[in-house]
């Protein structure tokens, strides 16, 4: 083994495979152009090629594969939402995540660990009870747990009754999980490319050409490309890209920050969150402590991190876990969240014919990656939004048939 490694290291040409083909020129036209090479865009491309035999597809991104919010989230997967349509949608996604490593032949490092959301008030307890009943009705494993059960689930959690916000109860979601976010993006990218999908990194979309109410081409910094369909899956830049097609989305973009400590021995298996303290915490397979919270209070298209939010997150996290006070922060980052008024996504048709929307994911886009790609691919193939995403159509903001998920955030926004 050491000899083989030495030969590999000294070889003039490395035999390692190339997951994504080398860059090539853009063709003059494609059946489908997908704007955004994050998890959702790549998942859509994969499902189009594999399940609908549509592989004349170009995925365009001004950055690199999985370099946007896909690389800037905290990799939490769950389905314990509050509205029936959201529970059904995310339940389907969780089920797909469970088999994703086999589906793609690429280790996703999927780990089912359970999620505990803490209630610090009577109002939170009542909301959790409602969520638990909706979840159970739709086959999602969620239940209310008392203080003693919380101690058993997370022995290191601060349960002092004299703390600032004493813990009254919790919502225990057994299907809460994590997966490796970059593996998700690269797995979809690799398999889609093998089936003929072209992935063009460092290709910025500069305009959308619309003729007679229908998308006909996409303008890029490498030229204009014709298309029969176009899909936008650009997370925090959703309203900016949609504006190029003349569409005004009910989306506001906010930075969302997170950070990790240096690695320590495993002590925290479940995912723990508190909306009252605006914080959530988990431990990675490498031993790092991941800390996140609510979005910044102001709109901004920036991925910078700030000292004030870091101090707030640290203070609230230490109230729950005083035992990690001596750990040092390893790194800090931010993503750009595309928030809608009802905290639910915008999926499916748009005012421009054959221009499809995958937007408004806020803080839970990663956990929807498999099912969003499947639904968007089927929607494009049939030119009609599938039933599972009908509640998330853009028109709901005109008819006031909203899908309110503001009460189901892991950390309040």
Q: Does the residue 140 lie in any domain?
A: yes
Contacts of 228 (CB under 8 A, 6+ apart): 30, 31, 32, 354
Q: Please determine, for residue 399, whether its predicted confidence score (pLDDT) is greater than 90.
A: yes
Q: Does the residue 311 lie in any domain?
A: yes
Average pLDDT rounded to a whole number, residues 262-282 = 94
pLDDT in tens, 238-256: 999 999 999 999 999 999 9
DSSP 234-266: -GGGHHHHHHHTT---S-EEEEEEEEEE-----
Q: Does the residue 369 lie in any domain?
A: no
pLDDT in tens, 216-235: 999 999 999 999 999 999 99
Q: Please determine, for residue 410, whether its predicted confidence score (pLDDT) is greater than 70.
A: no
For strands 214-220 and 205-211, give the pairing.
antiparallel
Describe the crossing of helices 369-382 and 39-52 by its angle, rounded to 10 degrees: 50
pLDDT at 413: 54
Q: Does the residue 333 lie in any domain?
A: yes
**In contact, 280 and 157? CB cutoff 8 Å:** no
Average pLDDT rounded to a whole number, residues 121-130 = 94
Beta bridge partners of 106: none
pLDDT in tens, 152-169: 999 999 999 999 999 999
**In contact, 208 and 353? CB cutoff 8 Å:** no
Average pLDDT rounded to a whole number, residues 94-112 = 96
pLDDT at 14: 67
Average pLDDT rounded to a whole number, residues 370-388 = 97
Q: Please determine, for residue 1, whether its predicted confidence score (pLDDT) is greater than 60.
A: no
Q: Does the residue 261 lie in any domain?
A: yes
Task: Count H helices and E strands in the chain, helices first.
Answer: 11, 19
Q: Which has the minimum average pLDDT: 210-219, 300-309, 337-346? A: 300-309
Average pLDDT rounded to a whole number, residues 179-205 = 96
pLDDT at 239: 97
Q: Does the residue 56 lie in any domain?
A: no
Average pLDDT rounded to a whole number, residues 181-189 = 96
pLDDT at 412: 53
**In contact, 44 and 31? CB cutoff 8 Å:** no
Q: Which of 353, 406, 21 is nearest to 195 (CA)?
A: 21
CA-CA distance, 199 to 299, in Å (whole number)?
31
Q: What are phi and psi of 70, to 5 degrees?
A: -60, -35
Q: Which has the minimum average pLDDT: 1-5, 285-289, 312-316? A: 1-5
CA-CA distance, 374 to 225, in Å (whole number)?
25
CATH number for the domain including 282? 3.30.9.10
- Name the average pLDDT for the chain: 94
Domain that holds residue 310: 111-175+252-339
Q: Does the residue 82 lie in any domain?
A: no
* CA dihedral over 58, 59, 64, 65, signed as positive or negative: negative
Q: Which has the minimum average pLDDT: 2-11, 16-25, 59-68, 194-203? A: 2-11
Global pTM reads 0.94
Domain count along the chain: 1
CA-CA distance, 90 to 85, in Å (whole number)?
9
**In contact, 295 and 251? CB cutoff 8 Å:** no
Q: Which has the minimum average pLDDT: 41-55, 150-164, 328-342, 396-410? A: 396-410
Stronger pLDDT, 114 or 294, i.e. the higher one? 114
- Count Cβ atoms below 10 Å from residue 180 Cβ, excluding itself: 19
Return the H-helix or E-strand segment holding 118: strand 115-119
CA-CA distance, 244 to 218, in Å (whole number)?
10
Q: Does the residue 208 lie in any domain?
A: no
Q: What are phi and psi of 5, to 5 degrees?
A: -65, -40
CA-CA distance, 373 to 130, in Å (whole number)?
29
């Amino acid at each position: 083994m050491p000899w083989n490694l030495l030969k590999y290291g000294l070889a003039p040409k490395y035999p390692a495979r190339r997951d994504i083909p080398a860059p090539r020129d853009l063709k003059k036209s494609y059946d489908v152009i997908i704007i955004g090479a994050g998890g959702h865009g790549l998942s859509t491309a994969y499902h189009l090629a594999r399940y609908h035999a549509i592989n004349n597809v170009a995925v365009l991104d001004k950055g690199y594969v999985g370099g946007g919010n896909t690389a800037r989230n905290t990799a939490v997967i769950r389905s314990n939402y509050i509205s029936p349509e959201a529970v059904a949608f995310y339940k389907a996604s969780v089920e797909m995540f469970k088999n994703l490593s086999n589906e793609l032949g690429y280790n996703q490092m999927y780990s089912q660990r359970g999620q505990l959301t803490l209630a610090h008030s009577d109002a939170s307890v009542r909301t959790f009870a409602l969520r638990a009943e909706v979840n159970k009705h739709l086959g999602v494993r969620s239940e209310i747990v008392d203080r003693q059960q919380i101690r058993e689930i997370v022995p290191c959690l601060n349960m002092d009754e004299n703390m600032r916000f004493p813990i009254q109860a919790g919502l225990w979601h057994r299907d809460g999980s994590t997966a490796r976010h970059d593996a998700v993006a690269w797995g979809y990218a690799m398999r889609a490319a093998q089936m003929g999908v072209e992935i063009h990194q460092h290709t910025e979309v500069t305009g959308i050409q619309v003729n007679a109410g229908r998308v006909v081409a996409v303008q890029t910094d490498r030229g204009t490309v014709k298309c029969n369909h176009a899909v936008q899956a650009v997370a925090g830049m959703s309203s900016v890209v949609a504006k190029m097609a003349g569409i005004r989305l009910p989306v506001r973009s906010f930075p969302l920050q997170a950070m990790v400590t240096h690695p320590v021995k495993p002590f925290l298996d479940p995912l723990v969150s508190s909306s009252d303290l605006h914080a959530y915490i988990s431990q990675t397979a490498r031993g790092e402590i991941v800390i996140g919270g609510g979005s910044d209070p102001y709109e901004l298209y920036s991925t910078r991190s700030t000292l004030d939010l870091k101090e707030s997150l640290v203070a609230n996290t230490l109230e729950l876990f005083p035992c990690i006070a001596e750990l040092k922060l390893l790194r800090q980052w931010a993503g750009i969240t595309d928030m809608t008024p009802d905290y639910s996504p915008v999926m499916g048709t748009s005012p421009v014919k054959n221009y499809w929307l995958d937007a408004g994911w806020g803080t839970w886009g990663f956990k929807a990656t498999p099912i969003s790609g499947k639904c968007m691919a089927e929607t494009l193939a049939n030119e009609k939004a599938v039933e599972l995403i009908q509640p998330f159509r853009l028109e709901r903001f005109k008819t006031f048939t909203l899908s309110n998920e503001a009460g189901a955030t892991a950390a309040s926004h």
